[in-house]
Amino acid sequence: MKRKKIIICDTIHEKGFKLLEKESDIEIINAAETAKNKLYEFMKDADVAITRSPTDVDAKFLDAGKKLSAIIRAGVGVDNVDIDECSKRGVIVMNVPTANTIAAVELTMTHILSTARSFPYAHNALKQDRMWKREKWYGVELFGKKLGVIGFGNIGSRVAVRAKAFGMDIVAYDPYIPCNKVTEFGMTYTENFDDILACDFITIHTPKNKETVNIIGKAEIAKMRDGVRLINVARGGLYNEEALIEGLKSGKIAFAGIDVFSKEPAVDNPILDLDNVTVTPHLGANTFESQEKIAIQAAEQALSAVRGISYPNALNLPIKTEDLPSSTAPYLELVQKISFLAAQIYKRPILGIHIEGEGAIGEYLDSFLTFAIVGALKESLGDNINYVNAGYMALDKKIDTSSKILPASGYSNKVTVKISTDKGVAEVSGTVFGEDEQRIVSINGFKTDFKPKGKMIVFKNRDVPGVIASISTLLAQNNINIADFRLGRGSDGLALAVILVDQDIGRELLAKLNELPNCIWAQSVNI
């Protein structure tokens, strides 16, 4: 079988490379050190590309990579990606939005503390100028001050928790979240933006879009209290820079902590000439830990995309995922994965694809059904199935599809996909713990608990002594390492095991597994 190709256009952490290199069905094109004017020569055969900010994903880039099906932007920002052009050409764009969360949170806290105590200036006066003038560097305490947080997502909420530990009073503004997401932390939720403008410190953590560009301008600064301190470690342009400079010069704004600018590199920005700012050169993601996480997540997304299994954090899927709450995102991916798994259990022509939901997630089953169809048919149709034609393909193949909301059975939210074939029905259920911890919780009625990722064997057997030993022995004889072994027992004398392994299971070995005493059936699955 011809190997799929992933091109790496910019430098990523070595752990990302190692993750990709382990996959025998993938060929890596390492163009990270290639001059940009030579990059296009390596792209003609690439199926998926991993890029960072130095590479512009524009029409010229896409012309060179005519086979590309997906772009992974290894980071949060996609300012250098022409998403509309990618959409026109059917190229799915993904980013890595959470890997640098802690790094951005901690840099925000650094700027909050620096603006309160003028730390960089005191440091330079002593270290560089050898001046011991303690009286010049009086600051303010965070304790008892109000912190206004604009955007209470992954980063803003964590900044708020840390600031609360300093004894600050938190006021949060985010019209896209329920108020209890804020109040459960003992913080104040507001729908009135003026409540934010009345705070002692203000920090912003929103994406950059039409709604948020210049969200803080001249009029907003005029409403602020004298001596306010402003922080921006999100995106350049959220604060109007001209208004910001004017406020800093007049003293209306006592101090600002800025990591991002409207135009970067910002070496000539007039903000740098002011004495009441702390600045950093867009360091929000610049920790060793975050770079490692970014590389690993980008590599994992590239593998899922190149195999057509799922498209985590896709920004331009041709269905209206933007109309769904952000909490549904991990379920969209989970549904496609469990559908893909279910289709591999029998590997027979599919007669029906049915999805069921328990809990609040049940409202979105109609949207989830598209992902279930893509996952189920990917094994047989490969690149011929996508989110646009999923419904048509199911109709053309006379596959019955449906969705159904069920009463809760012990989980806050649970989704189940049932794939009907002439050999039987494969039923897989899953849920999401926390924000994005995806888990498979049952297969064909047998309880289990594992992440839907990696190489695995699904093994149904009579529940008698010696089965686990016989499986382990056979795998060891074939140099297959067991990473995890999950066993679910039924009340009818049968059991089902999910064995996660580190190596591929070939046809011959699978046949031997099916020949083991007390085996009812065994199937290899790769997610």
Distance CA 364, CA 350 (A): 23
**Joined tokens for residue 187:** 């913080």
Beta strands in 411-502 (DSSP E): 414-421, 425-433, 437-443, 446-450, 455-462, 482-489, 494-501
Distance CA 443, CA 437 (A): 18
**Closest CA relative to residue 142, chosen from 111, 166, 158, 108:** 166
**Joined tokens for residue 395:** 């109709």
Q: Which residue has the tokens 């329920």?
A: 178
- Do 436 and 330 touch, CB atoms closer than 8 A? yes
14, containing H or E segment:
helix 14-21
Q: To the nearest 5 percent, what fractions of the chain are helix, strand and coil?
A: 35, 25, 40
Which one of 282, 307, 354, 379 is the catalytic residue?
Answer: 282
Could you tell me the end-to-end alpha-carbon distance of the chain, in angstroms, rounded to an integer? Answer: 18
Count CB neighbours of 309 within 10 A.
22
Q: Looking at this protein, which amino acid is placed at residue 470?
A: S
If you count DSSP H runs as helices and E runs as strands, how many of each does the chain have, helices first? 17, 22
- Do 174 and 156 touch, CB atoms closer than 8 A? yes
DSSP conformation letters of 270-331: GGGG-SSEEE-SS-TT-SHHHHHHHHHHHHHHHHHHHTTS--TTBS--SS-GGGS-GGGHHH
- Whether 300 is a known active-site residue: answer no
Distance CA 300, CA 229 (A): 40
**Joined tokens for residue 270:** 């007039």
Instruction: Please tell me whether residue 148 adopts helix, strand or coil conformation.
Output: strand
Which one of 41, 264, 363, 515 is the catalytic residue?
Answer: 264
**Joined tokens for residue 511:** 């046949």
Helix/strand/coil (H/E/C) assignment for every residue in 166-224: CCCEEEEECCCCCCHHHHCCCCEEECCHHHHHCCCEEEECCCCCCCCCCCECHHHHHHC
Which one of 229, 235, 307, 354 is the catalytic residue?
Answer: 235
- Whether 235 is a known active-site residue: answer yes
Residue 166, burial from CB neighbour count under 10 angstroms (0-12, 13-18, 19+): middle
Residues acting as catalytic residues: 235, 264, 282
